[in-house]
Amino acid sequence: MKAVARGLVLPLLLLGTWELASHGGLVDARILPSPEHVLATALRELTEGDLLYHLLVSLGRDLAGFIVGSALGIAIGTLLGLSPLAGRLILPSFNGLRQIAILAWIPLISLWFGFGDSAKIAFITLAALIPAVLNTYEGIQSAPARLVEVATALCFTRWQRITRLYLPSAMPSIATGLHLALIYSWVASVGAEYFMTLGPGIGGLIIAGRERFQMDLVILGMVVLGLVGFLINQSAQRVERRLLRWRG
């Protein structure tokens, strides 16, 4: 309970500062509308507008990209961790490519996939892929040497080594990678919608507010993005703790 109270201090201070600035004449209300104005806009968009539709579209893209990127990331990370040859051939190039800022891929992805949902999902997939690959690879590489010796002594097949030794040993690292992939996917969802403006989504809602100079709509979109990101992070932490309870 104390942790929750401490966590509310900064948001309440920011809310109070926002209220004072908007009502005290410190900022033009057209640029920074008051919190109650934004709340009224939120209620209107929920009851009469398309806020829920935009949110569901964004979440759908996020989930699709996360699933594809995570699955590919775990598969590639496992291959790199188990095959020294694949590690030597692929890992240096992968480490070089991951240094490129994720937003720098948007022009190429737009040329390859257009500006529709397929391009946005491809961009989200790329964002989820990187942490999944790296954490899976590190988890596979950190398998205890004693367990590897036992598996060799028991003549485990390659499949038995993967399913009974390497993947269970790597599970904490994989869970961390999936947690990061989930967060990166949501951030990439917003970036994709913002820079690939075709179609609905929370990013498109923010752009519409900017173009119409409706700052209340822009701020509402930002608040929704922050709240959803917070809920995604908290949910991922709880799932991760539940899955890794066996660690004691």
Return per-residue pLDDT of the chain as tens, 248 residues.
565 566 677 777 887 777 777 777 777 777 778 788 888 888 888 888 788 888 898 899 999 999 999 999 999 998 888 888 887 888 888 888 888 888 888 888 888 887 788 888 999 999 999 999 999 998 888 877 777 777 777 777 777 777 777 778 888 888 889 999 999 999 888 888 877 766 788 888 888 888 888 888 888 888 888 888 888 888 888 887 777 665 55
Closest CA to 186 of 235, 135, 114: 235
Task: For residue 236, give the 3-state DSSP assignment.
Answer: helix
pTM score, two decimals? Answer: 0.83
Tell me the C-alpha distance between 62 and 121, whole Å.
7
Report the distance separating Cα 199 and Cα 176, nearest Å.
Answer: 32
DSSP code string of 125-175: HHHHHHHHHHHHHHHHHTS-HHHHHHHHHTT--HHHHIIIIIHHHHHHHHH
The secondary structure element, H or E, covering residue 204 is: helix 202-211
The 10 Å Cβ neighbour count of residue 22 is 20
User: Two tokens at 27?
Assistant: 């900022």
* Separation of alpha carbons 221 and 133, rounded Å: 31
pLDDT value at position 247? 57
Quote the DSSP letter at residue 49: S
pLDDT for the residue 185: 92
Residue 50's contacts (CB-CB under 8 Å, 6 or more residues apart) are 200, 205
Q: Say how far apart CA 186 and CA 229 lie, in whole Å.
A: 7
The answer to whether 35 and 90 have CB atoms below 8 angstroms apart is: no
Domains and CATH numbers, the chain: 59-196 (1.10.3720.10)
> What's the pLDDT at 129?
92
